[in-house]
Amino acid sequence: MPSSPHRRMNLAARHAFTLIELLVVIAIIGVMVGLLLPAVQSAREAARRMQCSNNLKQIGLAIHNYHDAFKQMPANHGFDHTHTSGEPWVSGPSWLTVILPQLEQGPAFEQMVFEGTDFSDTTTVPNRNWEVMSKLEVPTYNCPSSALERKRFQSASDATQAIGAPEVYPIQIPDYVASVGYYNPPGSNEFSWDRYYAGTATWSWGWLQDDGFLSILNNKFQKRRFASVLDGLTNTIAVGEHSAFLYHFDGTQEDSRPGRGPGAAWAARPSYFEWGAYYGMTANVTVPRYPNNSLFSGNWTQNMEHTLHNGFRSQHLGGVQFLMGDGSVRFITDSIDFDKIFTALNGRADRYVFKQDF
């Protein structure tokens, strides 16, 4: 017997949701999303942090392979001879440039020229590498958690435009910076002139010094080997993150990465050793003068791209990831004793003994 229209309508009504039921379901879904979202974000950050750690490990492997090949550590190549009046203060390649072949970027490296060129493109000498620099992007040099820009737009000099460059071209900014020493001696929060009188440092836009893991090749400092790291490779910081904004006390922020200036990742800047030399500037390296992730102190050496005191910063909550000299990667918390332990970790031969873990 066929069902009546009324029976069919009743059956259809039983399978439909009321407005209240729909609202309840939507509310439940909203609560579940709210509960799961932090866990998803945490998992994503854990994956990004792992990738950042892997980047540092790759850089560490490249440094060790470079040392095996050339019997010295990579370094910033600064102005290496006596300057004559009227001579341009050209910039050489950075340590990030010289390890490109060890990061499977040999083809790009082989296209570069190292004579008659200015890597920072700020003088009357053309940057003959402008084209390869503008096209080259190494993912290993950027932390995936960083919110900072990955490119700077370099203004080509007249000399560089004369060889075919456009007025502006992009260059990669790195999120990793090499340690070249410490500001105050380990165990002290007071500045000392001893290293200047010993010939290991010069006062010029910050300290260009020979106390840290990586060195600067210029008219004073020469090549260095692992054997010079007397404190042990395991106890010496080689490279750390600078992948987060520098914050002021009023909440404003700025990019203070040591590799954000002219030439970005690929330039060392002149790095000249001389008392009071205006061109004693360098890039992509740091001498931490203030604790990790600290607020802006008001001192100009903390935020200029060609000084040594920019320090280390990270987007990872609670600390910064570091590559140690032995190739291992360690997460060092912001609460570490800066004057004693952290400063000592940035020295390669300070022989400072500490008992606390880090």
DSSP 8-state symbol, 339: I
Nearest CA-CA partner of 144 in 293, 315, 30: 315
pLDDT per residue over 32-65, tens digit each? 777 766 655 667 878 899 999 999 999 999 999 9
Region for 116 from its dihedrals, namely left if φ exceeds 0, alpha if ψ lies in -120 to 50, beta otherwise: left
User: 354 vs 273, which has greater pLDDT?
Assistant: 273
Burial class (CB in 10 A: 0-12, 13-18, 19+), 161: middle
User: 353 vs 214, which has greater pLDDT?
Assistant: 214
Where does the pLDDT of residue 255 fall: very low under 50, low under 70, confident under 90, or very high at 90 and above? very high
> What torsion do the CA atoms of 260, 265, 267, 268 make, to the nearest 10 degrees?
80
Cite the beta strand spans of 132-194 per DSSP E. Answer: 151-155, 168-172, 176-179
pTM confidence score = 0.88
- How far apart, in whole angstroms, are the C-alpha atoms of residue 122 and residue 95? 19
Poorest-confidence range of 160-169, 173-182, 202-211, 266-275?
Answer: 202-211
- How far apart, in whole angstroms, are the C-alpha atoms of residue 307 and residue 281? 6
Nearest CA-CA partner of 350 in 229, 200, 176: 229
pLDDT per residue over 183-239, tens digit each? 999 998 888 888 888 888 887 787 778 899 998 999 988 889 999 999 999 999 999
- How far apart, in whole angstroms, are the C-alpha atoms of residue 240 and residue 35? 34
Burial class (CB in 10 A: 0-12, 13-18, 19+), 89: buried
Tokens of 201: 């440092």
Residue 246, classed as helix, strand or coil, is: strand
Cβ proximity of 310 and 257 under 8 Å: yes
| CB count in 10 Å sphere of residue 352 | 18
- Dump the DSSP string for 159-216: HHHTTT--SEEEEEPPSEEEE---SSPTT-SS--SHHHHTTSEEESSSEEESSSSSEE
- For residue 14, the model assigns a pLDDT of 54
Domains of the chain by residue range: 46-345
